[in-house]
């Protein structure tokens, strides 16, 4: 199920999932969700992956949680996951003003409609299997993120994303764990490597030459050795680990790559995204 804020990219997500081989049904009325699920269950192996894009009208939101709970109940033989698309208020307002579309919630203004919709969707977001913040994503980046999550066969273990970002561009809304690495010397003030990024060897060497960087990595790995098995035991399907520095171009990129390498050594298969590396 694809749910989330209006303007956050549900239709684009549906199109991307369709390109990835999913059967996609857009703008499904909430009252039909369980009936569609029953039809999917009856179809058997011939219909393995179905995406239902829901929640476009105000009157449906109050019924959505009950429908999700019913779909997740035992007896249908289905694996039900909820993808929730999020974006900041400022971005959503800008998107609606840019398209001049009327917000589905109606009301006296876009900002008020967004606030009302966010309040109604709060519980669904809390119980979603994965939340994606599209505030800083274009259509292509959203498609790449969905491919990482849903493009292949269903993962047998928790899927992990290590995300680097810059605090001055905002903390990712979909992060489960956030590490702040601004305690390290900033390569931005070293003129020779300022134009480079953490994907370049001179920046990587500069960051990892700091003793505190190795201490951080050791302590972070120790924490994640404890946390990740606990998340798996709890049944969590997706985990986002965010590493932030000031601009998101140097320190956070290097340490996100190093953390991802350590997680691979532990038997996980994390993907990496450097959100602000090109800013």
Cα separation, 242 vs 222, in Å, equals: 16
Nearest to 137 by CA among 103, 180, 176, 88: 88
> Which of these, 177, 256, 192, 180, lies nearest to 224 by C-alpha position?
177
Using one digit for the tens of pLDDT, what is the confidence trace for 83-141? 999 999 999 998 888 776 777 776 668 888 898 889 889 989 998 999 999 998 888 88
Cα–Cα distances in Å, from 123 out to 28, 60, 68, 118, 178?
Answer: 20, 14, 11, 10, 22
Q: What is the pLDDT along the chain (279 residues), one digit of tens a residue?
A: 999 999 999 999 999 898 888 899 988 888 888 888 888 888 877 777 899 998 666 666 777 888 888 888 756 677 888 999 999 999 999 888 877 677 777 666 888 889 888 988 998 999 899 999 999 888 888 888 888 888 765 444 688 999 999 999 999 988 999 999 999 999 999 999 999 999 999 999 999 999 999 999 999 999 999 999 999 888 787 899 999 999 999 999 999 999 999 999 998 989 999 999 999
Pairing of strands 177-180, 238-245: parallel
Rounded to whole angstroms, the Cα distance separating 216 from 213 reads 5
- Could you tell me which of 115, 122, 129, 112 has the C-alpha nearest to residue 61? 122
Domains of the chain, with CATH numbers? Answer: 2-150 (3.40.50.300), 159-274 (no CATH)
SS3 23: strand
Spatial distance between the Cα atoms of 95 and 8, rounded to a whole number of angstroms: 9
- The Cα–Cα gap between 134 and 142 comes to 7
Q: What is the DSSP string of 125-176?
A: HHT-SEEEE-TT--HHHHHHHHHHHHSSSPPSS-EEEEEEEEGGG---TT-S
């Amino acid at each position: 199920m694809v749910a989330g804020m209006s303007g956050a990219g549900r239709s684009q997500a549906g199109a991307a999932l369709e390109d990835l081989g999913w059967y996609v049904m857009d703008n499904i009325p909430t009252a039909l969700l369980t009936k569609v699920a029953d039809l999917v269950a009856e179809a058997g192996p011939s219909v393995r992956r179905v995406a239902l894009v829901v929640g476009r009208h105000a009157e449906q939101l109050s019924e959505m949680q009950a429908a999700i709970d019913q779909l997740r109940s035992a007896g249908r033989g289905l694996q039900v996951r909820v993808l929730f698309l999020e974006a900041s208020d400022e971005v959503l307002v800008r998107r609606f003003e840019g398209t001049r579309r009327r917000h589905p919630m109606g009301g006296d203004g876009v900002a008020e409609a967004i606030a009302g919709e966010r309040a109604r969707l709060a519980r669904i977001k809390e119980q979603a299997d994965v939340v994606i913040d599209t505030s800083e994503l274009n259509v292509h980046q959203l498609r790449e993120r969905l491919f990482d999550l849903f493009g292949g066969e269903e993962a047998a273990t928790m899927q992990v994303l290590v995300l680097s970002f810059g605090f001055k561009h905002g903390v990712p809304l979909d992060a489960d764990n956030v590490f702040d690495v601004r305690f390290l010397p900033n390569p931005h003030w070293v003129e020779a490597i300022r134009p480079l990024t953490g994907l370049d060897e001179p920046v990587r060497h500069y960051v990892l030459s700091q003793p505190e960087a190795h201490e951080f990595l050791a302590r972070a790995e120790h924490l994640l050795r404890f946390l990740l098995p606990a998340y798996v035991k709890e049944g969590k399907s997706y985990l986002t680990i965010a590493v932030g520095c000031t601009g998101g171009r140097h320190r956070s990129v290097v340490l996100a790559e190093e953390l991802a390498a350590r997680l691979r050594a532990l038997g996980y298969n994390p993907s990496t995204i450097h959100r602000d590396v090109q800013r």
